[in-house]
A and B are shown apart, each in its own frame.
Chain A
Amino acid sequence: MILRGALVGVTDRSVRTGRPEPIVVEAFSRGLDWFRPAAAAYAGWLAWQRHDAMARPWVAYVVVAVLMAFSLALLAYRRRTTLLLGVEVLLAVAGIFATLLADRPEAVASGQFTLPTIWAAGCVVGAAVLHGRLGGVVVAALIAVADVLEVGTPTVTTWHNILLLFLLGGLIGLAVDLAREGLTRYAQVVAERERLRERERLARVVHDGVLQTLTFIHRRGDELGDGGAELASLAADQERALRRLVTQDLTDDSRVGVVAAERDLRPLLTAREADRVTVSLPADPVTLPAERAVELDAAVGAALDNVIQHAGPGATAWLLLEERGDDVSVTVRDNGVGDDLDHLMSAEDRGRLGVSQSIIGRARDLGGTASVTTRPGGGCRVVITVPRREKESV
């Protein structure tokens, strides 16, 4: 699952700390494990180089042997604890003070290398990996104190080394802290996402079951007669409301990536569905600039109002949304009493604004057209067609 060499990610369970660790922290630990024996070998080589100048070379060899043994043991034993870190720091400090025994005093005073040399830096990094920047800085301070005590009068090189130790402990510790904090956040996000997914799944199951039951009540209620009919219409209302809710949830999801200024017409029109209004839509979103969508929806609303007011009781309306090239068209048809077209269009002269203003006027404002077909007894069909985008005005 995790790519070798990748620095971002998480190990399931680290052998070193016994809990999930960021990969970058594991990489630090792995590098450190190989650094220790290498540093011990380097310390041994340096001691051998200057064993003639030493007062007691055997002390140096013993120290290097102990450091190497410890380093190799840590390659086999992978668990890292504070106690083990303590032992490592103790060994480094002991090695530093053993320099006083191995070397002549004048060599020590002139700033000769300590016996562990860079091996001591390993425990600073180890502390930083285990306990973050606080651990790194604390152990850097311990090693620094040991160095200063060993030298007596610190030289410039001593100060340089101390500064490097603090930088090492502080920066690696900081990196580890950041990686661990990122891991915690990541775990939170994953958990939250899982919870959300589960909630969505439950909602789907519940919705489906409840929808089916409501539809069932609706249907059987109608067959029961008086009392049942009331029950049926109640269930039908709830059924519609729930279906709208479910489809809106879905359309919200599919809106990801659509510019916020764009709006899908489908949820707007679905909201107009009612007992006597059926809405037919395409399966894919029909997006328009938001204000155009709202304006078109308002024109559709006006057409439906017209149905309610003039089509007579018992009239049913159907709403069809289509895309036609660069245009979007909404058809509103009813099977009501209809009207004489001239009579309908002259309503404006009689002080009624209805059709001409709120439907045709709105369509014209959007750069489109609205056509009305009606005859007495033949229902009414309004087709509103508007361009998706505003045409460039010349």
Chain B
Amino acid sequence: MTASPPPEARTTVLVADDHPLWLGALERDLVEAGLDVVATAGDGPSTVRRARATRPDVLVLDLNLPGMRGDEVCRALGDLETRVLILSASGEQLDVLAAIKAGATGYLVKSASATEIVDAVVATARGEAVFTPGLAGLVLGEFRRMATAGDGDAARSSAAGERQRAADRPIPELTERETEVLRLVATGMSYKEIAAELVLSHRTVQNHVQNTLGKLHLHNRVELVRFALARGLEDPNGDAAGVGD
């Protein structure tokens, strides 16, 4: 705590990576860019502990930390204000998607340049969703998958009750505009280029992209609550409490 008191606006960052070289380089780049790296961590559990202790604005998270999977870390920090930016070397698609669904708001491959990474951290701190073309492709695919899985359920279940249940479970859908924007992101266009192409404001494009992530998170949370409720109702203690009165 010998450092000079940072100005109010300085963004606090926690960097989590199990590769010491990477961790050092990343930390240096971020500090050079004027960000406040409040802590670093080398494995999943310590990432969660330090994030809880320091409550940074942004957590730069390597996807393959020892001890916990990336999506588990995201889920464990779900109640914090901290925004999670995924940084991954292998780009293992299912893992990236799982982390994004668990609440991460950005994804970048490690081969991105130092400037790109710094920009992404700053954007994440501002609350913007950092999309790579790869992530946009994944999210498009995920919404498509959820839509077709829903159709499949409805088609399979002939009973009226089943159909009712399928209707109760809203499948999130992208608006045509959102799909269009995501498609442009997935083919490498910047928000600025998209804004020009679709004659929208930069901010509107930003919002469209963020909304797609929001729908994904919400759906994931609804599914989690549903799961918890189902488990809770089967809990013998829960039953006893219900029977008791």
List residues of chain A with CB under 8 Å of any chain B CB: 207-209, 211-213, 215-216, 218-220, 222-223, 236, 239, 243, 246-247, 250, 278-284, 316-324, 331, 333, 335, 381
For A335, give its contact among B19, B92, B145, B188 (CB under 8 Å).
B188
In chain B between 129 and 184, which residues have their CB closer than 8 angstroms to a CB of chain A? 133-134, 136-138, 140-142, 144-145, 148, 183
B113 interface residue per 8 A CB criterion: yes
Q: Number of residue pairs across A and B with beta carbons under 8 Å?
A: 103
| Distance in angstroms between the alpha carbons of A207 and B64 in the assembled complex | 12
B19 touches A212 (CB 8 A): yes
A282 touches B186 (CB 8 A): no
B137 touches A215 (CB 8 A): no
B90 touches A283 (CB 8 A): no
| Distance in angstroms between the alpha carbons of A281 and B91 in the assembled complex | 12
B53 interface residue per 8 A CB criterion: no
Task: List 17 other contacts, CB 8 Å, given A209-B19, A219-B111, A281-B137.
Answer: A213-B19, A213-B21, A220-B25, A243-B90, A278-B133, A278-B188, A281-B93, A281-B134, A282-B142, A316-B188, A318-B133, A318-B188, A320-B187, A322-B140, A323-B148, A331-B183, A331-B186
| Distance in angstroms between the alpha carbons of A322 and B183 in the assembled complex | 9
The secondary-structure label for the interface of chain B is helix
Residues of A within 8 A of B133 (CB): 278, 280, 318, 320
Contacts A208-B90, A283-B93; A216 near B22 (Cβ below 8 A): yes
Most buried by A among B21, B138, B186, B187: B187
- Least CB separation from B151: chain A residue: A325
For B114, give its contact among A212, A219, A236, A324 (CB under 8 Å).
A219
A236 touches B111 (CB 8 A): yes
In chain B between 111 and 139, which residues have their CB closer than 8 angstroms to a CB of chain A? 111, 113-114, 133-134, 136-138
Contacts A219-B111, A278-B133; A283 near B141 (Cβ below 8 A): yes
| Distance in angstroms between the alpha carbons of A58 and B229 in the assembled complex | 80
Most buried by B among A215, A222, A321, A324: A215
Residues of A within 8 A of B148 (CB): 323
A150 CB, nearest partner CB in chain B, Å: 70
| Distance in angstroms between the alpha carbons of A381 and B136 in the assembled complex | 17
Contacts A282-B144, A318-B186, A320-B186; A212 near B110 (Cβ below 8 A): yes
- Least CB separation from B137: chain A residue: A280
A284 touches B145 (CB 8 A): yes
Contacts A283-B141, A322-B140; A243 near B91 (Cβ below 8 A): yes
For B22, give its contact among A212, A222, A280 (CB under 8 Å).
A212
Residues of B within 8 A of A335 (CB): 188
B111 touches A331 (CB 8 A): no
Write 5 A-B pairs (CB below 8 A) sorted by A numbering: A239-B111, A280-B136, A282-B140, A283-B145, A320-B183
B38 interface residue per 8 A CB criterion: no
- Least CB separation from B144: chain A residue: A323
A222 touches B187 (CB 8 A): no
A320 touches B25 (CB 8 A): no
B183 touches A223 (CB 8 A): no
A331 CB, nearest partner CB in chain B, Å: 5
B94 interface residue per 8 A CB criterion: yes
Contacts A208-B64, A212-B89, A215-B111; A322 near B187 (Cβ below 8 A): no
B97 interface residue per 8 A CB criterion: yes
B42 CB, nearest partner CB in chain A, Å: 13
- Least CB separation from A242: chain B residue: B90
| Distance in angstroms between the alpha carbons of A331 and B180 in the assembled complex | 12
A322 touches B188 (CB 8 A): no
A308 CB, nearest partner CB in chain B, Å: 16
Contacts A283-B142, A318-B188; A216 near B137 (Cβ below 8 A): no
For A283, give its contact among B19, B89, B138, B186 (CB under 8 Å).
B138
B134 touches A278 (CB 8 A): yes
Residues of B within 8 A of A208 (CB): 64, 89-90
- Least CB separation from A333: chain B residue: B187
A222 touches B134 (CB 8 A): no
A222 touches B113 (CB 8 A): yes
A219 touches B110 (CB 8 A): yes
Residues of B within 8 A of A213 (CB): 19, 21
A123 CB, nearest partner CB in chain B, Å: 56
B98 CB, nearest partner CB in chain A, Å: 9
Residues of A within 8 A of B93 (CB): 247, 281, 283
Most buried by B among A215, A280, A316: A280
In chain B between 22 and 81, which residues have their CB closer than 8 angstroms to a CB of chain A? 22, 25, 64
A115 CB, nearest partner CB in chain B, Å: 64
* 5 nearest CB pairs, A to B: A282-B141, A280-B137, A318-B188, A333-B187, A318-B187
Residues of A within 8 A of B144 (CB): 282, 322-324
For B137, give its contact among A223, A321, A333, A381 (CB under 8 Å).
A321
| Distance in angstroms between the alpha carbons of A381 and B193 in the assembled complex | 14
A323 CB, nearest partner CB in chain B, Å: 5
| Distance in angstroms between the alpha carbons of A223 and B91 in the assembled complex | 23
Residues of B within 8 A of A283 (CB): 93-94, 97, 138, 141-142, 145
Contacts A281-B137, A283-B142, A320-B183; A218 near B114 (Cβ below 8 A): no
- Least CB separation from A332: chain B residue: B187
Most buried by B among A218, A219, A319: A219
Contacts A318-B133, A333-B188; A223 near B114 (Cβ below 8 A): yes
| Distance in angstroms between the alpha carbons of A187 and B175 in the assembled complex | 56
A204 CB, nearest partner CB in chain B, Å: 9
| Distance in angstroms between the alpha carbons of A280 and B140 in the assembled complex | 10
| Distance in angstroms between the alpha carbons of A368 and B186 in the assembled complex | 22
Residues of B within 8 A of A247 (CB): 92-93
A43 CB, nearest partner CB in chain B, Å: 58
